[in-house]
Amino acid sequence: MGYVAVKGGTIAIEESIKRLKYERIQQGQAIEVEKIQAGMRGLIDQVMSESSLYNEGLAALAIKQAEGNPEEAVFLLRAFRSTVPRKHYSRVIESGEMHVERRISASFKDIPGGQILGATTDYTHRLLDFSLLKETDKIVQEWLHHYHNEGAGGETGPQVLPKVVDYLRQEGLIPPCENNDSEPDDVTRESLEFPSSRSQRLQILTRGETGAVTSLAYAVIRGYGALHPTVGELRVGTLPVSIDHPAGQGNNDEDAFYIGEVKVTEVEMLMPVTVEKEYGKKELEFEIGYGLCFGQNETKAIAMGILDNCLEHPNNEFPSHNEEFVLFHIDSVESTGFISHLKMPHYVTFQSKLDSVRKTKKEEKQEVTTG
Amino acid sequence: MKRRRRTEILIHGSQKLSSQLAENIRQNYRIEVIQSPENGLVMIKMRETSQKSLFYPGEVFVTECKVQIGETIGIGIVAGDHPELAENLAVIDAAFEAELPETGSWAGLLEQEEQNIRQQRDGARQAILKTKVDFESMDVQ
């Protein structure tokens, strides 16, 4: 059988796209982007983090267009990002500058500045709240008014809090470390090659697909890895972003342009390790696995911290310690894109395989007949 | 007032203030818009705390504008899609850079706005600190 090139499907594709729109709006109601932005914080944070583009409004728009499907929303935002020029690089942000909204440690009860729960689902009962079926704008505005009045006159304190890891370094429980100001690599500009740099690993982990990053880190703790992590500190808060004058007029912080802030989750995971000191003496120390991502994505940031430490210690026994295995498989657009492309027409390649199978079967049949 | 401080006040403060200051300059000087407000990206450079090295966690969507007053160029840049604010920021930046006499009376307005922002943040902080855990040791029997 010969192969014949074919074309067609244009009208079907146009109608399919129309059908997609129909599915989105078939109930005759349009969902406003502002409503998505106001009420879908978790999904917006996930989409911004995985697309590595910080803007709640664009994320809400992508979520609307994608009908709430995060993989499609991330694809849309990544595609949009590639059309917008990168104009500047920020000044180096030190996470100690964070205006903290939530901050906990699973390792130490008494941390300087205290444990601040902020907004969390950790202590909720996870029972469906049917009263939300009748929630209206008026009801939420009244609740907000009451809440703002309640908040006045309480305890005040600094917005910036000391880091737990700095305390541990001062105690000598974590080896001291100097600032490394080497320019980071950028995986959006240069393809990843192995062995990877630390900056490449962190960039890929922070924009990794939440479920993939979490699953691999879970596998590590279940035994497909060699770590026993504890959350040293988890913070959620905003970081100020500023840029130097583009014409290089003054490169100090006071002359910089403040441009706004980004909300992030930052985690330092503590991993106990036995290190050999002088004369073969063994001591227990801690290493830090680092996780940071846009928005409030606590599970992902913790998982990133675990995988960061895994990749710092390559170990062929476990795929979770293999940088090629981890870094090549956690990106949302790459993994969903490849799996999804299997739906696309593979008529020629499949027909080729089919021909081979038919030929083999025919030869087997002839052998049986003649044998 | 240095740029870092004034831009933070103008971005977090009421947009009425940035409109008012920019309008003040527009009424007295010829302003040439050399780059209309347009969108772009700023890549964030961040220091991680494990090995204190740098990495890129992602980009912020911004609006940027450039104006010229006489020989002086002013730049306005702000996170998000805010063309009007970006242009006002550029006008104000050019005014400060050119040391126009109008800017002499702005320090008080900016400091007052900074005070308003601080009060708002203190209020928000107080609400957050209500979630601070007060540990109590249980009695040992």
Measured in angstroms, the CA of B75 and the nearest CA of chain A are apart by 9
The answer, yes or no, to whether residue A314 has pLDDT greater than 60, is yes
Q: What does the domain layout of chain B look like in residue ranges?
A: 3-117
B/e letters for A96-133, b = 16+ CB within 10 Å, e = fewer, are eebbbbbbbbebeeebebbbbebeeeeeeeeeeeeeee
B111 touches chain A (CB under 8 A): no
Contacts of B58 in chain A (CB under 8 A): 48-49, 52-54, 206-207, 294
Please name which of A40, A35, A56, A43 lies closest in space to residue A263, comparing C-alpha atoms. Answer: A56
Measured in angstroms, the CA of B122 and the nearest CA of chain A are apart by 7
With vertex at residue B140, the alpha carbon angle to CA B135 and CA B141, rounded to the nearest 5 degrees, is: 145
What pLDDT is stored for residue B141 in this prediction? 59
For testing the chain B interface, which of A33, A47, A55, A269 should be mutated: the one with the most B CBs within 10 Å? A55
Are B80 and A260 inside 8 Å of each other by CB? yes
Please name which of B55, B60, B51, B44 lies closest in space to residue A183, comparing C-alpha atoms. Answer: B55
Confidence of residue A251 (pLDDT cuts 50, 70, 90): confident
Least confident piece of the model among A96-100, A282-286, B53-57: A282-286
The position carrying tokens 């974590």 is A174
User: Residue A138: which residues within 8 A CB-CB, separation 6 or more?
Assistant: none
What pLDDT is stored for residue B19 in this prediction? 98
The answer, yes or no, to whether residue A192 has pLDDT greater than 70, is yes
Average pLDDT along chain A? 92
**Chain B residues 10-69 within an 8 A CB cutoff of chain A:** 11, 39-62, 64
For testing the chain A interface, which of B5, B9, B49 should be mutated: the one with the most A CBs within 10 Å? B49
The answer, yes or no, to whether residue B107 has pLDDT greater than 90, is yes
For the stretch A204-244, pLDDT in tens is 999 999 999 999 999 999 998 878 899 999 999 999 999 99
Phi/psi at B40 (5° precision): -160, -175
The answer, yes or no, to whether residue A47 has pLDDT greater than 70, is yes
Establish how many alpha carbons lie within 13 A of residue A228's alpha carbon, considering only the half-sphere containing its beta carbon: 6
The whole-angstrom separation of Cα A42 and Cα A38 is 11
Contact A325, A304 (CB under 8 A): no
What pLDDT is stored for residue A298 in this prediction? 98
The whole-angstrom separation of Cα A45 and Cα A152 is 29
CA A202 to centroid of chain Cα atoms: 10
The pair of three-digit structure tokens given for residue A175, joined into one six-digit string = 């080896």
Closest A-chain CA to B46: A93
Phi/psi at A86 (5° precision): -85, 120
B124 touches chain A (CB under 8 A): yes
Measured in angstroms, the CA of A92 and the nearest CA of chain B are apart by 5
